[in-house]
Amino acid sequence: MTKLNVTFGAFAMVALLAAASAASAETIALRATLTAAAQVPPSDSKGTGSATVSYDTASKKLDWKIIYEKLTGDPTAAHFHGPAPVGKNAGPVVPITGSLTSPIQGSATLSDAQAKELLAGLWYINVHTVANPGGEIRGQVLKAK
């Protein structure tokens, strides 16, 4: 075998591995509808909201945009909580920092364990206010249909 054939073979193998890696990476679209009724226990707020969320499996980056209206006051905090199914509470896993004025936008890098919980539908978004310190509106983060 000539040196050229070995070099070409090594190059071809690297190219195939890179292509396979890129082919397995994807961006997953998720969404959440935030309501007072979804709180546990439910709040009596007229507030509503929605979130568009995406997760990039290659970079492990989570991006979000949350819009809301009719809250009892300005948000004091917002978080992704988990792991918990609908109707159950869990602690915060990813804080939403920076401005909490609608629309709230941000990103975070997840661990493999966090990504697994997120993609299994076990995370929810919670927006807190002074009147509802436990959360005013909440929505389960689910894969977009």
pLDDT values of the chain reduced to their tens digit, one per residue, 145 residues? 555 454 444 444 444 444 444 456 899 999 999 999 999 999 999 999 999 999 999 999 999 999 999 999 999 999 999 999 999 999 999 999 999 999 999 999 999 999 999 999 999 999 999 999 999 999 999 999 8
Give residues with Cβ within 8 angstroms of 15, minimum separation 6.
none
pLDDT of amino acid 87: 95
Helix (H) or strand (E) holding 22: helix 3-24
List of residues 6+ apart from 36 with CB closer than 8 A: 42, 43, 44, 45, 46, 47, 48, 136, 137
Q: Is residue 6 part of a domain?
A: no
Asked if 79 and 124 count as a contact pair (C-beta separation under 8 A), the reply is no
Q: Does 34 fall in a domain?
A: yes
In a 13 Å sphere around the CA of 41, the CA atoms on its Cβ side amount to 1
Q: Is 135 part of any domain?
A: yes
Contact between 50 and 31 (Cβ < 8 Å): yes
Q: What is the per-residue pLDDT for 128?
A: 97
pLDDT value at residue 90: 97
What's the pLDDT at 16? 40
State the residue range of the domain holding 48. Answer: 26-143
pLDDT for residue 4: 46
Task: Determine the pLDDT at residue 23.
Answer: 52
Specify the number of domains making up the chain: 1
Provide the 3-class DSSP secondary structure of residue 15.
Answer: helix
In a domain, 112, yes or no: yes
Length of the chain (residues)? 145
d(CA 108, CA 95): 9
What pLDDT sits at residue 115? 98
